[in-house]
Amino acid sequence: MQLIELIERLDALLDASRVKDYCPNGLQVEGRGEVRRVLCGVTASQHLLDHAVAGGYDAVFVHHGYFWKGEDGRVNGIRRQRLKTLLANDISLIAYHLPLDLHPELGNNAQLGRLMGWRPDGRFADQELGWIGRPAESDAPESAEQLGRSIAARLGRDPLLVGDGARKVRRVAWCTGGAQGFFEQAIAAGADLYVSGEISEQTVHLARESGVPYIAAGHHATERYGARAIAAYIGDSLGLAADFIDLPNPV
């Protein structure tokens, strides 16, 4: 498949043109014109790029790419080495940030909800990035502590729970990655528990004072599943060889 066609297909799939973001979505670094193999991952780290080179991939697809709004645009140090790796090996970098969070089936939030068995029935926050719904079916509502244990079992990582762990959860809200800033909006939407990836100092006080517990389940841990779903889509729907690699990240 030609690179330009691949980008057109992904742009259409992820509806990238309608999303307001703070980085460019789509093709960030142009490589060879024909794409046969795509390596998918969460972040375009040097480690991921080295895997792409060693594996003979034509393109890399990630959630966290480059050229973020407000960052220093000079090409030196780590940025120079990453770009050198891509350009010297004629590998394209394809990145979709918020569009990958938003997709109703393949997105990070959709995939996390599916993994946990949560049943979404609403959206909240900026651009409707946050999801809210009912937890997995059970005989009686589980507590926040019990849901935290389920998250640990499924993500393979112990989350941090702050606030009232005994609170029964009839409505769970979630937004993957660094979306702790949506906590108040999750509370306003009627959540009994809010789950995201990261936590800030003020989040602890909000959880304690509102009575709504908060779970920080890991930025990387909650955002592994969108890129994995895209790898499956590229392979099944576009007929290209596509692999997902999960490079460990404790955050």
The tokens describing 34, both together, are 């024909």
pLDDT tens digits, 135-188: 998 778 999 999 999 999 999 999 999 999 999 999 999 999 999 999 999 999
> What are the Cα distances from residue 43, in Å, to 60, 170, 179, 208?
10, 34, 17, 33
In whole angstroms, give the CA distance from residue 222 to residue 211.
24
97 neighbors 63 (Cβ within 8 angstroms): yes
Which residues is 148 bridged to in the sheet?
none
What pTM was computed for the model?
0.96
162 neighbors 207 (Cβ within 8 angstroms): yes
How many CB atoms within 10 Å of residue 189? 18
Interaxial angle between packed helices 77-88 and 46-55, expressed in degrees from 0 to 180 and rounded to the nearest 10: 20
143 neighbors 212 (Cβ within 8 angstroms): no
pLDDT tens digits, 93-149: 999 999 999 999 999 999 999 999 999 999 999 999 999 999 998 778 999 999 999
pLDDT tens digits, 191-228: 999 999 999 999 999 999 999 999 999 999 999 999 99
207 neighbors 170 (Cβ within 8 angstroms): no
- Which H or E run contains 41? strand 37-43
